[in-house]
Structure 1
Amino acid sequence: MRSQTLWEARKYEEAFGKAISLQERPGFHLSPRTGWMNDPNGFSWHDGKYHMFYQYHPYDSHWGPMHWGHAVSTDLLHWEYLPAALAPDEIYDRDGCFSGSAITLPDGRQLLMYTGVVKERQANGGYNEVQAQCLAVGDGVDYVKYDKNPVLDEKDIPEGGSRFDFRDPKMWREEDGTYRCIIGNRPADGSGQILLFESPDGYAWHYKKVLAANHNRFGKMWECPDFFPLDGKWVLLTSPQDMLPSGFEYHNGNGTLCLIGAYDREAEEFTEETDQSIDYGIDFYAPQTVLTPDGRRVMIGWMQNWDTCNHRRTHDEAWFGQMSLPRELSIKNGRLYQTPVRELEEMRRDRVSYQGVTVSGTIRLEGVRGRRVDMEVTVRPEEGCDLYRKFAIRLAQNDLYHTSLSFRPGESVLKVDRKFSGSRRAIIHQRRSKVNHRGGELKLRIILDRFSVEAFVNDGEQVLSAVLYTDQEADGISFLADGTVNIDVVKYDLV
């Protein structure tokens, strides 16, 4: 039986999505068809295309009852909208279809696993969300919810685990044909844990063990987990709520955490070795990865932060929220490295190059401007001069506006600052990150799209992401030095 709720959402998004012109959207970052977007869901390769589902409220550009939006791509940069895949239309998910994942079954169909939410009245008169895991199966466009949903609920949670914080399943298929999934949960200590479940067929699931426990080290509840092998190690990604800063790590409150370690597949034991933030900028949360057909591990996150959702273009915009640039992942020297997906290079046009430019004060370079830009900058001290005190790049700039990336080698600190980007709200507009440099030499690759900047440091050792809602006419780029620096710049337009 066709769902009236889903039919109405599809009808609405088709009509109102058409009203948003391509120029009003990011050029190569996925945004919602209409309305609100948050976490990426079901990021997968299926039937010759990349599929990205997303947390979606089509009727408003603010958070609301969660649906699953749906888009497909062949290159991870140009997306085609498909009809909404899921709507909150069953007794077990009537208050929302929360985050989850997707895999292709041996029979060629696509299986979705998501968290169904039901609000329950509590003794104090308030409401809590009871969360359980549900399935839907389909052909890549239309999906039918499983008649035995939910497949995992409170009876499948280990003792002390909360049924109100039990969400975001990430599935995979093992080499022997069986299935595993991990799910975020809140244990009795009030922090977070990642639970491991297994299934012979993708439909009948049972609890296996706690794969990783927070013990109140990194924030509280751990959301949106992902788990995969990479360069001889295993990587657990998760998004903890309510993190406390540790030096220059974990400044985002609702932040991101990468744990790198070893995984004994026989015992299904994960041993942590190192931890780090995933993104050091202002806007990044809830990433998911996919294994590409050519064997790359690619990650996309929600390029937004729960604490900055009031940072908007206007009060009545037709869409809100966008995904990050797809990033190829690798491990070097025990760290997670991220580089822009190589498909981006196909979009490069009109190369402009400068080598060995001396900067003292402020300069502009002919041909270096734009709001859809891929720019590589290397900064180093000028030979024969003292170490410079500060170097900065101003982007999306005119007489009124700019956003800056500034580096102080004496402190080894790189800062993104968008307080002059056109915001009328005193929310989070700066983030500092400790970066590595060699005697003041630093390498940056800066990707600008219409509504964002992402800065990749030292060939992907760190990334800082931020959304920008500056008028598109502000397309200037300038370089500033307190002291004297020598820079190389290679800039492309992205078309």
Structure 2
Amino acid sequence: MKSILDKAREYEAVNGRKIPSEKRPAFHISPYVGWMNDPNGFSWYKGQYHLFYQYNPYKTQWDSMHWGHVVSKDLLHWEYLPAALAPDEEYDKIGCFSGSAAELPDGQQLLIYTSVDHETLEDGTVRDIQTQSVAVGDGTDYKKYEKNPVLTGQDVPEGGSKVDFRDPKIWKGKDGLFYCVVGNRPSDGSGQILLYSSEDGFQWKFVSILAENKNRYGKMWECPDFFKLDGKYVLLTSPQDMLAEGMEYYSGNGTLCIIGEMDPDTHTLKEENHQSVDYGIDFYAMQTVEAPDGRRIMIGWMQNWDTLSHRCEESKWFAQMSLPRELSVKNGRLYQKPVRELDAIRKNKTEYRNVVVKDKPVMLKGVQGRTIDMELAISPEDKETGYGKFIVCFAQNEKFHTELSFCPEDSVLKLDRKLSGSRRAVVHEKSCLVNRKTDELKLRMILDRYSVEVFVNDGEQVMSMVIFTEQEADGISFQANGKVKMDITKYDLV
């Protein structure tokens, strides 16, 4: 009799190969077949990057979470491996939820994940119970630990929920111990991040409540990540049910970065600054890895729980990951840049300098495409008169386009996909407040077949968004209210 994992592997092997490569993103990770959400187990192991992901191979909706698996040497060309985990034990029969990975001293890879089961209360109500479990393997095949789960509700501090207790992120400390942070909901109904330690990765003990939400930024804090970068400690998490705060945080499920110092005595994060991680529509559940050369690289689920109806219904895959991004901390802010490996696939350079853009749309020879890397530097042609608005239209034909616009008067940058071909009335635009120190605005736009990522002023802010416009729509045009001077460098990504 075939196991649940064997069935999943057999199904994906048959059906994944039926999806033509040209029907997928060119260099963003998509599921081999079926549904994808949170990145899991982003790690460097045996000479390559491993990324696992929340996965339902059988249909393009969330259900019965498995772990999908891909590997890469350059973060751009990914090879599909067989599904790594399936919900096949009593303690995880509802699903193998999000988690992470680390290498054990014996050279094996340890996966730690949230195992979900049901319990029935005295009144007959059925609810989830979330625990943390581990599996050990060789980079392809993994065996679950016979003493799972390794963290349960008994390991949660007083008042903490065992229903909302998930998404462990593991790392090896300089002291030789393993550590992990886990998202949890305390008695006030918001969120908190718990810190645990282990000598071997299997037996864990509670250390501290690393950070507390106290109903400031949304409710439950999901998918935490914690690391030291450029002399500061950084906590990344994805809060549910956020309330809008100007243009820094929008309502819904969002992203949060807290930067500060670590108190070595209490093992708590002393907060200094906070910000969104991504200001676009589609970005959630980010996870990082420390590369062999010391870079901190982040990837996120380039999708939004509130926009799941924005899809191509006939597609046999749904959702994708963001482009991996190099992180740094400067002046109390998180900066993000596309991984430098992207430079190796830049081809066919097209460059213009001092192009004046005004009231009529301008299209430039060689500036078009749906898999491109485009750098823009814009400033007023006349600093005395300035300009009212600058617009870039892309993924454009006579019927469709997506728009990126900037208004210097209020310093607002906006992405708008309402004319991109969607048949659903979902969220179609997002704006962010740009911190400009000069008249010049620098933009770097990475387009893949089904997405755009905009890096603002050398990565001080990022806006991510998926689009499903037909691939034949590959035009790009520029327009302004007033006169804008523009420098542009464009590469095809091959």
Indicate whether the TM-score tops 0.5.
yes
Q: CA RMSD in A?
A: 1.2
Q: Which residue of 2 aligns with 1:216?
A: 215
Distance 1:384 1:106, change over 3 A: closer
Structure 2 residue aligned with 1:185: 184
Deviation at residue 212 of structure 1 after TM alignment: 0.4
Cα offset, 1:120, TM superposition:
2.6
- Tell me the distance in 2 between the aligned counterparts of 1:298 and 1:149: 30
Shift of 1:336: 0.2
TM-score of the superposed pair, with normalisation by structure 1? 0.98
- Distance in 2, Cα, partners of 1:428 & 1:122: 38
Q: Residue type matched to 2:282 in 1?
A: D
1:269 matched residue in structure 2:
268
TM, length-normalised to structure 2: 0.98
In structure 2, the partner of 1:70 is: 69
Counterpart residue type for residue 458 of structure 2? D
Select which of 324, 327, 342 maps to 2:340.
Answer: 342
Moved more, 365-374 or 116-125: 116-125
Tell me the residue number matched to 1:98: 97
Counterparts of 1:230 and 1:198, CA distance in 2: 20
Offset at 1:269? 2.7
Residue 450 (structure 1) shift: 0.3
Deviation at 1:385, TM superposition (A): 5.5
Match of 2:225 in 1: 226
Residue 467 of structure 1 deviates from its aligned partner by: 0.3
Query: Superposition pairs for residues 406-417 of structure 1, below 5 Å?
Result: 406-417=405-416
Using the TM superposition, give the Cα deviation of residue 437 of structure 1 relative to its aligned residue in structure 2, in angstroms.
2.3
Deviation, structure 1 residue 124 = 5.6
Stretch of structure 1 that moved more, 403-412 or 385-394 = 385-394
* Secondary structure class of the residue paired with 1:23: helix
Name the amino acid aligned to 2:133. Answer: C
Task: State how far apart, in whole Å, the 1-side matches of 2:331 and 2:401 are.
Answer: 35
* 1:369-420 deviation digits (Å, cap 9, x = unpaired): 0000000001100036611110010010000100010000001100000000
Aligned residue for 2:254? 255
Which residue identity is paired with 1:317?
Answer: S
Structure 2 counterparts to residues 32-431 of structure 1, below 5 A? 32-122=31-121, 125-265=124-264, 267-313=266-312, 315-361=313-359, 362-383=361-382, 386-431=385-430
| Aligned-residue offset at 1:246 | 1.1
Shift of 1:482: 0.8
Deviation at 1:33, TM superposition (A): 0.7
Aligned pair in 2 of structure 1 residues 356, 219: CA closer, same or farther (>3 Å)? same
Q: 1:486 to 1:438 in 2, by over 3 A?
A: farther
Which residue in 1 is equivalent to 2:455? Answer: 456
Partner of 2:15: 16
Counterpart secondary structure, 1:389: strand
Distance 2:68 2:403 in 1: 33
Deviation track 1:41-85 (CA, whole Å, cap 9, x = no partner) reads 000000000000000000001100000000000001110000000
Q: Secondary structure at the match of 1:307?
A: helix
- Deviation, 1:440, is 3.8
Deviations 1:72-103 (A, max 9, x none): 00001110000000000000000000000000
Instruction: Name the CA distance, whole Å, in 2 between partners of 1:473 and 1:438.
Output: 38
| Separation in structure 2 between the aligned mates of residue 372 and residue 121 of structure 1, nearest angstrom | 50
**How many angstroms apart in 1 are the aligned matches of 2:405 and 2:446?**
16
1:378 match: secondary structure: strand
1:122 to 1:52, Cα distance in 2 relative to 1, 3 A: same
Whether contact under 8 Å (1:184, 1:195) holds in the other structure is yes
Residues 388 and 484 in structure 1, CA contact (< 8 A), matched pair in contact too: yes
Q: Within 1, Cα distance between the matches of 2:486 and 2:244? A: 33
Q: Secondary structure at the match of 2:114?
A: strand
SS across alignment from 1:15: helix
Contact 2:411/2:435 (CA < 8 Å) preserved in 1? yes
SS at match of 2:343: helix
Are the aligned partners of 1:252 and 1:282 in contact in 2 as well (CA < 8 Å)?
no
Q: Secondary structure at the match of 1:92?
A: helix
User: How many matched pairs?
Assistant: 493
- Determine the C-alpha separation between the residues in 1 that align with 2:414 and 2:323: 20
Q: Hey, what's the Cα distance between the residues in 2 that align with 1:257 and 1:126?
A: 33
CA distance in 2, matches of 1:288, 1:444: 24
Paired residue type of 1:291? E
Q: Which runs of 5+ in 2 are unaligned?
A: none
Q: Which amino acid aligns with 1:423?
A: S
Q: Find the aligned partners of 1:384 and 1:474 in 2 and give their Cα distance.
A: 35
CA contact (8 A) 1:409 1:437 kept: no
In 1, Cα distance between equivalents of 2:118 and 2:24: 34
Query: Residue by residue, what CA displacement relative to the aligned partner does 1:314-372 show, whole Å, maximum 9, x if unpaired?
Result: x2320001000000000111100000000000000000000000011211111100000
Q: For residues 13 and 159 of structure 1, what CA distance do their matches in structure 2 show?
A: 43
The superposition leaves residues 136-171 of structure 1 with CA deviations (integer Å, 9 ceiling, x where unpaired) of 000000000000000010111111111100000001
Higher alpha-carbon deviation: 248-257 or 293-302: 248-257
- More displaced stretch, 480-489 vs 120-129: 120-129
- For 2:200, what is the secondary structure of its paired residue? coil
